[in-house]
Structures are given as structure tokens and as C-alpha cells.
Amino acid sequence: MFKRITFILLVGLLAWAYQAARPPPPNICGSPGGPPVTAPRIRLRDGRFLAYMEHGVPKQVAKHKIIFVHPFSSSRHDLIITISISPEVIEDLGAYIVSFDRPGYGESDPDPKRTAKSLALDIEELGDQLELGSKFYVIGYSMGGQCIWKCLQYIPHRLAGAALIAPVINYWWPGFPANLSSYAYKKQPPQDQWALRAAHYIPWLTYWWNTQKFFPKSSVVSEKPENMFSRQDWEIIRNAKVSGREKHKAYATQQGEAESIFREMVVAFGSWEFDPMDLQNPFASNEGSVHLWHGDEDKLVPVEPQRYIAEKLPWIHYHELPGGGHLLPAADGMSEIILKALLIKE
């Protein structure tokens, strides 16, 4: 009798856990009842739509064509790389910049089969359909910076140059010495350690973990600023340099969080098909350059693993900014410095 009750309870609990862990289906853009399509979009190889937005000088007269990859929980509207740069400088540089909603964000269709490679191919197709030529630049910030590793791995022959700004790291990249990953991992607040563990080891639980109310969830998902920002970041926020973000935040996840931010966490912190530390220099004859920018007071992404990557990949131009936080590209003059380092050949 007792065994039977336990069994029934257990089945009930499992059924409940499965239901609770299963995210609602995405609210597809352009479908009946879904958000409207307002952006220009291209159709990808598998039929998915990708929404984009053009900035800077018209591409017909541009000297440099750049594809910008946006951060976590954000969209084609968040062009943080141009916050501290004047339109005149963009014009002088002859820079055309196109941003796009990554799969599942904004007005781009979800890609439940997303891999490291599929994102690089999406970027290549965007370049081709917009006729950016045989080579273009890629710049990515934060989680978008992590995506640049995928471009370096899968489409290096299409790149004129690449910049990774405060790129998110994956503590499970095998190239990191165990003591370094565990040291960097433990610098995060315990709630973030747990959220990442869930994303890595039990990905199907990621949605539930970050939407439940019993345990503290990821600081980034719950936007807990005290866990995310450094001294310099607060100064930037006080000066309202990053305002306007709120307006676009709802847009970023309008198709639901499961296929935007939570799919992204699972891909970013899952097991990768390659290790960035094994990459070869894509510009062996110096026809382009790869830059990595990081602030040594970044509270969201620890600096030590970046130093290690820079040591392992000596062809990367590593720029460490004393006092820099995670909002580094919004600091005074930084966008200009970053763009010029990438676009102007010495």
C-alpha cells in the first residue's frame, strides 16, 4: 500500500516537473496572433527569416562593411559599438554596419536546431544576400563576442577582420587549465554558478530554472545589477549612455524567452564542437586582424580566462583596459578606438 502511494506520488511529481520544465511554444513573428513584421528580412537556407538593420554610410559607397553581433537579451536595435562615436567619424571611416536579430530574438525566426556552426552560416548568408562582397568585418559584443569565435572557426575565408568585445567565455572549453576555469567560475555569484551548471548539464531544465521562484536564478536573466556592473559601468549608466535599452528589451524577447535567451544560454555554455584555443590565425599574411578587448574590472566576464586565451593565441591583438567594466564599448571614446584599430591598417 505504502509503495503504491509512493509510486503514484512519484509519477505525479515527474509529470508535473516535465510540464513545468517545458517552455511554451514561441510566438512566431508574422504568424496569426504573433508580433508584426516591421524589419527588412532575408530568407535563410532552411527557410528561416533573419531581420536586419543598416547603419552608417550607404553600403554602395562604404569602404568597410561590418556585421555586428548583438549581446544577450538584446536585438538589432542595440548598436552599442556606436554609442560613443560621432556620425562624422563613421562617415570619415566610410563604415557601413549591419546588425541583425539573432535567431529567436526580435523578428528573426527561432532556430531550435541551432549550433555553433549554424550561426556562422547565418552571418555568411546575411553578407551574401546583402551583397557585402567576398569579405566583411565582424564585431561582436559580450554574448555576441562569443559568436565571433564561431565565425573564426567556420567562415574565416569570409572575414576582412574581427573584433571581440568583452566576449563571454565558456568555462567548459577544454583548453582552459582546470584550476583556471574553477577559479574564474567561482568568481561568479553562487546563483550564476548554478544557472550555468543547469545550462551545461541539464539543458532541458534551463527554462524552468530561470523562470521558477524557489531558487535565485541567473543575475543576468533577473537583471541583478549589483552582480553585473563595475565602477566604470555605473558611471556610464549614471551618464545615461546606455539609455534606450529598456524600450528595445521587450522587442528582443517578443517571441518568447525560450527560443531567445534560454536557447542561447544552452548553446553558449553547452559542449562546443570546437575549442577557440585551437584556432589558427586566419590572417597568416597579415591581410586582416583579430582584436579582443576586455576590461580588467569586468564583473560579468572574468578577465583571467581572456588573458589565457590571448597567451595561447598570440596572433590576437589583445587590449586589456585598466578599470574597464563590461560596458566597455560605451565608455568615452572607446567605440572610436575599437573601430579604428580594426579598420585602419598600420
Ligand X SMILES: *[C@@H]1O[C@H](CO)[C@@H](O)[C@H](O)[C@H]1NC(C)=O
Minimum distance, C-beta of residue 178 to ligand X, in the bound complex (Å): 8
- Nearer to ligand X by C-beta: 154 or 176? 176
For the chain, the first-to-last Cα distance in angstroms comes to 81
Minimum distance, C-beta of residue 270 to ligand X, in the bound complex (Å): 24
How is residue 302 written as a grid cell? 572574468
Select from 224, 25, 75, 59 the least CA-distant residue to 130: 59
Q: Which residue is nearest to ligand X (CB)?
A: 179
Select from 262, 49, 54, 310 the least CA-distant residue to 143: 262
Candidates 59-67, 111-119, 138-146, 176-184: pick the segment binding ligand X (CB under 6 A).
176-184
- Beta strands across the sheet bearing 49-56: 41-43, 49-56, 95-100, 64-69, 136-141, 159-165, 290-295, 317-321
Q: Does 183 bind ligand X (CB under 6 A)?
A: yes
Candidates 24-32, 138-146, 177-185, 290-298: pick the segment binding ligand X (CB under 6 A).
177-185
Alpha-carbon distances of 302 from 162, 181, 217, 234, 266, rounded to whole Å: 21, 10, 19, 17, 20
Q: How many Å apart are CA 35 and CA 254, to the nearest integer?
A: 7
Among 180, 237, 277, 341, binds ligand X (CB under 6 A): 180
Residue pointed to by grid coordinates 547603419: 55
Select from 210, 56, 234 the least CA-distant residue to 136: 56
- Nearer to ligand X by C-beta: 43 or 187? 187
**Residues 124-163: x/- map of binding to ligand X (CB under 6 A)?**
----------------------------------------
Candidates 82-90, 156-164, 174-182, 224-232: pick the segment binding ligand X (CB under 6 A).
174-182
> Do residues 329 and 338 lie in contact, with contact meaning Cβ atoms separated by under 8 Å?
yes
Candidates 1-9, 135-143, 157-165, 172-180: pick the segment binding ligand X (CB under 6 A).
172-180
Amino acid identity at 172: W
Residue pointed to by grid coordinates 562582397: 133
- Nearer to ligand X by C-beta: 112 or 177? 177
- Nearer to ligand X by C-beta: 199 or 301? 301
Q: How many Å apart are CA 5 and CA 124, to the nearest integer?
A: 57
Q: Does 186 bind ligand X (CB under 6 A)?
A: no
- Nearer to ligand X by C-beta: 21 or 180? 180
Q: Does 311 bind ligand X (CB under 6 A)?
A: no
- Nearer to ligand X by C-beta: 60 or 179? 179
Q: Does 179 bind ligand X (CB under 6 A)?
A: yes
Size of the site for ligand X (CB under 6 A): 4
Q: Does 177 bind ligand X (CB under 6 A)?
A: yes
Where along the sequence are the contacts to ligand X (CB under 6 A)?
A: 177, 179-180, 183
